[in-house]
A and B are shown apart, each in its own frame.
Chain A
Amino acid sequence: MSQLSRRELLRLSGLSLASGLVLAACGKQEGIIDDGAIARLGEAPSTTALAEAEVTDQVLLRTAASLEYNAIDTYTAALGLGVFTGNLAGATEVAKRFRDDHQAHADAVNGLVRALGGKEHRCANVQINDLYINPALALITDDKNPNIGMDVVALAHALENLAAQTYQGVVELISDPKLRADAIRIGQQESRHAALLAQVLNPGIAAMGPTFDATTGKPNIAAIPMAFGSQANIQLIVGAPKADGTRTTLLLETPSLNSLVYDTVSC
């Protein structure tokens, strides 16, 4: 006969009690009708399912074209704000050049879409505008924001990274090897844009590679932040400082299934 100490007996009885409570909670209860629903708190909003659509090379390229128009529109808006003054006076010519580059990219990508028998896409991605660019611009142009010019550069930097990541990401999804190369050629130039803008935000040779904020320990913006092109989300910190001194962080992600420009999407 096994010998159980008083402590062991108490532990076992506690376990039995806990197991019983769990089983009772999982079991059917008297007077309750089981409607098969998952237990939840509050009301979940209804959702609209995406229409059935195939992600083809055309769709991926049309999506890339839409991002080019997001960039074109953002640079146009930035130039219209008239904030590139003082230390940022040189940014006007850079912004014009980058906008022209994006127009050339859009034309090139739409040429590829046409060659595939698809319909070109000549406007910005609505989801990207709604999720990221419009909220960012609202924060940036807030009357209380003391750093509008630099925040515009930060937004441009984030969008260049977003574009570069998008082109890099589609390489694995595109079926035609030649189109993969065409896509990444543009992605490479977006990366160059991003690197140059990173130097405006955090200048100097010492800041080209990864560095960290001495106070927060967080990574600073860098022209060459890592060895391989990232596919992680992109942090954009903009707007007026809040009461605790921090500013709003937006997280940008490359287009996903709900922001691709399918064949049925038009401007």
Chain B
Amino acid sequence: MLSETDITLLVAAQSLELAAQDIYEVVVSQKSKSDDEQALLVLMHSHHAAYGQTLNGVLSKRAATRRNEEAYTKFFAMLADKSKLWSTLLELENTAVATHTAIIERLSSAKNAALLASITTVEARHAAMLATLISTDLDLALENLAQALVTQ
């Protein structure tokens, strides 16, 4: 049985994943990249869809019904500059990692903290790979300076 606080936190995580899924959907539909890059975008989109669905299952009737509109609007606006596609997605992934980690810090349910942990380790991999498409700077791939969307 989830506490009300845990439900609120997990809804925040799920709604961010729904926003990420929608951002990737926009990018994938543009078909502006090479076949390999397009396949990578489709893969990352499918991962965010899986995270949203898994959290939906955890929350059941209390699941989020809407994406995080603030996050979606922010990243959608950043996509307007086509030259910044990879850096926008990098920031999105790092934001998701930071947000889920802040949520882990407040969740009382260890089981759901572990679920979010397993999501963040893969989103961190997404971020590292997106960083390599921008630059060879190791710091860009390894450091996460993004701010969490929930207060710690």
Contacts and interface: CB of A to CB of B under 8 A. Distances in A.
A149 to B, nearest CB: 19
Contacts of B51: 227
Nearest to A175: B110
Contacts of B127: 192
A184 B125 CA distance: 13
A187 B37 CA distance: 27
B122 A229 contact: yes
Contacts of B105: 177-178, 180-181
Interface string B50-63: 11000000000000
A97 B125 contact: no
A98 B10 CA distance: 33
A228 B110 contact: no
Nearest to B121: A229
Interface residues of B, number: 41
B135 interface: no
B39 interface: yes
A101 B102 CA distance: 22
A224 B43 contact: yes
A172 interface: yes
Interface string A192-236: 111110010000111011000000000000011011110100000
A97 B124 CA distance: 18
A204 B36 contact: yes
A226 B102 contact: no
A171 interface: yes
A192 B128 contact: yes
A122 B104 CA distance: 27
Interface string B116-152: 0111111011111100110000100110100000000
B39 A209 contact: yes
A173 B117 CA distance: 12
Contact of B40 (A173, A187, A208, A228): A208
A7 B3 CA distance: 66
Contacts of A196: 128, 132, 138, 141-142
A97 B139 CA distance: 10
A164 interface: yes
A195 B119 contact: no
A206 B39 contact: yes
Which applies to chain A's interface (DSSP): helix, strand, loop or mixed? helix
Interface residues of A, number: 40
Contacts of A178: 105
A192 B124 contact: yes
B15 interface: no
Given A178-B105, A180-B113, A164 B39 contact: no
A172 B129 contact: no
A168 B40 contact: no
Given A177-B108, A228-B122, A229-B117, A209 B128 contact: no
A188 interface: yes
Contacts of B120: 184, 187-188, 229
B97 interface: yes
A182 to B, nearest CB: 8
Given A178-B105, A181-B101, A168 B128 contact: no
28 contacts: A169-B114, A171-B110, A171-B113, A175-B110, A177-B105, A177-B106, A178-B105, A180-B113, A188-B101, A189-B142, A191-B121, A192-B125, A192-B141, A193-B142, A196-B141, A199-B132, A205-B34, A205-B40, A205-B133, A206-B36, A208-B40, A223-B129, A224-B43, A227-B47, A227-B51, A228-B118, A229-B117, A231-B118
Interface of B: 34, 36-37, 39-40, 43-44, 46-47, 50-51, 97, 101-102, 104-108, 110-111, 113-114, 117-122, 124-129, 132-133, 138, 141-142, 144
What are the 7 tightest A-B residue pairs by CB atom distance, in nearest-first order?
A181-B105, A229-B121, A172-B114, A229-B118, A188-B124, A192-B128, A205-B36
